[in-house]
């Protein structure tokens, strides 16, 4: 037994250590996952911003150089000296000048157009005359007709192919446009940045024209595509279509869920910038750390287990028994407390009219429900077997399927019902049935959990407290308010044809008793008077003290006037006795007697106040006749 306990303890400790580490790792994972994703998004977005603004800077440089060329005095002099008949020397000078700009700034092309002659001069030495209406010359006439000093566009050069062009107006000293200087360049420099970002940040970066993506993939950008882990040509085309002339960023899904993609249109280039950042390496690193951590934790757990075993084995058997004994005591105490709070807990699916859960089905079988798991049938069977007869109707109404569903629809979630049952006892006990209603989304139905609690002692305490609230402390009879309440209730329940008697009596000359013998003797006389009064009546009759020495009795279901006269005469006789005491050291004896007034229900009144009024009038007459007697009111 000891070895098994030790083994279980070792397993428990090891489990706690490992679960603790794994739990903390999961918490750290959950905490850091947002940071990882934000870092991934930030790197991709910053890269996009960097390339975007490098591109704008790249073009700003060409525009600045073109503006500087437009103010070059040599070019202006060439245009001023241009003649109708070109000689070879003049063309050679223009070619050399344009070629010098091309080489200095590494342009793909450089050219000059004269507005006087519409002649087009090329760095290669070729020249031609531009004409309106020719689509290839539209850029020139568009710039001349605009208010802008320069224009930027992409297109195909007749000799160099696809490139970008910056064209700038040349003005003379008076501000008149005398020509246009232009340069052409390619964006190879930006493409050269892509491998750098891939090597430094492990990013997939692609700068591509949406119009020629299929051709570009096969020719110019095949190497760039190899930097992508998830994206392919069809996916790039889809992203470009969704991005339009704006920007778009998103996380992938499925196998691509660790990839963050940024797509951005660069208006100056008319190109798309596609960036993919993958978190796979971050996760690989995290998983490696997790495995290392688990390994270290396992070694630590092993060391702790060895130390713990040495310590635990040093304890003596007596201490172990004490610990076990304390645990058993605590367990029994807890179990006993729960058992006192709730006798049973059941769950039912009200919508589908069935018991829910194996525990509830097993408990119903123990109650002898004969494997009937239909809710309505089970409740009916419980009512017939265990609920006291006078409580069954209310029990079935409160727990019916219709009643519970209506309560839920009205927003009621808690229902309490009290009745008497004998589920666990020979005699009937008071039981409180508490119901919790809730919606179970898994099967889209209303469920209820039922808690049954023994409140027999609670009801007894309530009864005692109620009795104390209704009872006169000196006599044990009903007090004034309770007497009135019980008599009113009895009159309401009196069946047609029944006759009752309303009796008022008080002690003759009671004030002199207090004055002669003292209040202690007066209290004793009142108590003895109450005892004598109560002995003359049945349990069904109602007796109460409503004043200092005034008492009321309701005699229920009397058997005619002769019976009543005889009963009141006996009562009067029983309320007459002698008391003795000492006053100024001399013996004193006094006879106690009572005056009685009687009114009959229903002939002398049908309510408390009328009966009281008529009985009190009869009492007054009895006192006027010399006391120690009775009068029955004559209606």
User: Tens digit of pLDDT for each residue in 137-182?
Assistant: 888 888 888 888 888 776 666 656 567 788 898 988 888 888 999 8
Distances (CA, A) of 342 to 336, 450, 525, 582: 10, 10, 50, 62
Q: Indicate whether 308 pLDDT > 60.
A: yes
Q: In this structure, is residue 16 part of a structural domain?
A: no
pTM (two decimals):
0.37
Domain span at residue 124? 71-180
Do 479 and 471 meet the contact criterion of CB atoms below 8 Å apart? yes
Q: In this structure, is residue 304 part of a structural domain?
A: no
Residue-wise pLDDT tens digits, 24-53: 767 766 666 676 677 776 776 777 677 777
Q: What is the chain's alpha carbon radius of gyration, rounded to the nearest angstrom? A: 55
Q: In this structure, is residue 13 part of a structural domain?
A: no
* CATH for 609: 3.30.70.270
Residue-wise pLDDT tens digits, 244-299: 777 777 777 666 667 778 887 777 666 777 777 776 666 677 677 767 777 777 77
% of the chain exceeding 70 in pLDDT: 73
Q: What is the dihedral of CA 209, 212, 217, 221, to 10 degrees?
A: -40
Return contacts of 402-407, CB within 8 angstroms, 24+ apart.
404/350, 404/435, 404/437, 404/446, 404/448, 405/350, 405/351, 405/446, 407/437
Give me the number of domains the chain comprises.
4
Nearest CA to 500 among 511, 486, 481, 510?
486
- Strands 150-157 and 500-507 come out as unpaired
Nearest CA to 489 among 470, 508, 476?
470
Cα–Cα distance for residue pair 613/635, rounded to 1 Å: 12
Whether residues 490 and 611 share a domain: the answer is: yes
Q: In this structure, is residue 298 part of a structural domain?
A: no
* CATH for 94: 3.30.450.20
Q: What is the mean pLDDT of residues 424-453?
A: 83
Q: In this structure, is residue 217 part of a structural domain?
A: yes
Q: What is the mean pLDDT of residues 77-91?
A: 74
Whether residues 558 and 446 share a domain: the answer is: no
Whether residues 487 and 599 share a domain: the answer is: yes
Whether residues 387 and 520 share a domain: the answer is: no
Q: What is the mean pLDDT of residues 328-333?
A: 54
% of the chain exceeding 90 in pLDDT: 18
Q: In this structure, is residue 43 part of a structural domain?
A: no
Nearest CA to 187 among 130, 76, 266, 98?
266
Whether residues 112 and 165 share a domain: the answer is: yes
Whether residues 545 and 577 share a domain: the answer is: yes
Whether residues 343 and 374 share a domain: the answer is: yes
Q: In this structure, is residue 610 part of a structural domain?
A: yes
């Amino acid at each position: 037994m000891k070895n098994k306990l030790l083994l279980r303890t070792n397993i428990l400790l090891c489990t706690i250590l490992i679960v603790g580490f794994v739990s903390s790792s999961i918490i750290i994972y959950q905490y850091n996952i947002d940071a990882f994703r934000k870092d991934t998004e930030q790197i991709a977005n910053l890269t996009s911003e960097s390339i975007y603004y490098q591109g704008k800077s790249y073009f700003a440089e060409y525009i600045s150089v073109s503006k500087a060329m437009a103010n070059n005095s040599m070019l202006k002099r060439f245009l001023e000296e241009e003649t109708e008949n070109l000689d070879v020397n003049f063309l050679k000078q223009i070619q050399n000048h344009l070629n010098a700009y091309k080489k200095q700034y590494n342009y793909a092309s450089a050219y000059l157009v004269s507005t006087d002659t519409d002649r087009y001069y090329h760095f290669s030495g070729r020249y031609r005359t531009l004409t309106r209406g020719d689509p290839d010359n539209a850029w020139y006439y568009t710039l001349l007709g605009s208010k802008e000093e320069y224009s930027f566009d992409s297109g195909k050069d007749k000799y160099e192919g696809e490139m970008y062009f910056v064209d700038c107006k040349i003005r003379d000293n008076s501000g008149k446009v005398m020509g246009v200087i232009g340069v052409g360049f390619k964006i190879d420099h930006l493409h050269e940045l892509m491998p750098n970002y891939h090597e430094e940040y492990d990013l997939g970066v692609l700068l591509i024209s949406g119009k020629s993506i299929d051709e570009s993939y096969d020719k110019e950008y095949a190497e760039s595509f190899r930097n992508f882990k998830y994206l392919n040509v069809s996916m790039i085309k889809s992203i470009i279509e969704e991005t339009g002339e704006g920007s778009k960023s998103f996380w992938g899904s499925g196998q691509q869920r660790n990839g963050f993609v940024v797509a951005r249109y660069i208006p100056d280039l008319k190109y798309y910038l596609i960036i993919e950042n993958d978190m796979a390496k971050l996760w690989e690193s995290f998983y490696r750390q997790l495995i290392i951590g688990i390994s270290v934790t396992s070694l630590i757990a092993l060391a702790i287990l060895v130390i713990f075993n040495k310590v635990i084995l040093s304890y003596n058997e007596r201490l172990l028994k004490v610990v076990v004994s304390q645990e058993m005591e605590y367990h029994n105490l807890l179990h006993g407390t729960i058992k006192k709070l709730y006798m049973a807990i059941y769950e039912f699916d009200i919508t589908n009219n069935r018991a829910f859960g194996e525990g509830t089905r097993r408990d119903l079988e123990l109650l002898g429900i004969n494997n009937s798991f239909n809710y309505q049938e089970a409740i009916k069977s419980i009512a017939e077997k265990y609920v006291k007869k006078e409580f069954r109707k209310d029990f079935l109404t409160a727990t019916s399927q219709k009643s519970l569903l209506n309560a839920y629809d009205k927003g009621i979630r808690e229902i309490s019902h009290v009745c008497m049952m004998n589920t666990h006892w020979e005699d009937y006990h008071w039981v409180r049935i508490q119901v919790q209603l809730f919606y179970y989304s898994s099967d889209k139905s209303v469920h209820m959990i039922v808690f049954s609690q023994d409140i027999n002692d609670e009801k007894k305490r309530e009864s005692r407290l109620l009795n104390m609230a209704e009872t006169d402390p000196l006599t044990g009879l009903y007090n004034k308010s309770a007497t009135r309440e019980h008599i009113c209730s009895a009159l309401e329940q009196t069946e047609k044809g029944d006759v009752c008697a309303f009796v008022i009596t008080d002690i003759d000359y009671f004030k002199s008793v207090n004055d002669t013998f003292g209040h202690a003797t007066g209290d004793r006389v009142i108590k003895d008077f109450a005892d004598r009064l109560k002995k003359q009546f049945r349990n069904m009759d109602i007796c109460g003290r409503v004043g200092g020495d005034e008492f009321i009795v309701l005699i229920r279901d009397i058997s005619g006037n002769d019976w009543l006269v005889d009963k009141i005469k006996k009562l009067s006789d029983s309320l007459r006795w002698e008391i003795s005491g000492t006053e100024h050291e001399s013996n004193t004896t006094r006879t106690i007697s009572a005056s009685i007034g009687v009114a009959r229900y229903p002939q002398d009144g049908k309510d408390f106040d009328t009966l009281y009024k008529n009985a009190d009038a009869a009492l007054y007459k009895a006192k006027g006749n010399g006391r120690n007697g009775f009068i029955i009111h004559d209606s």
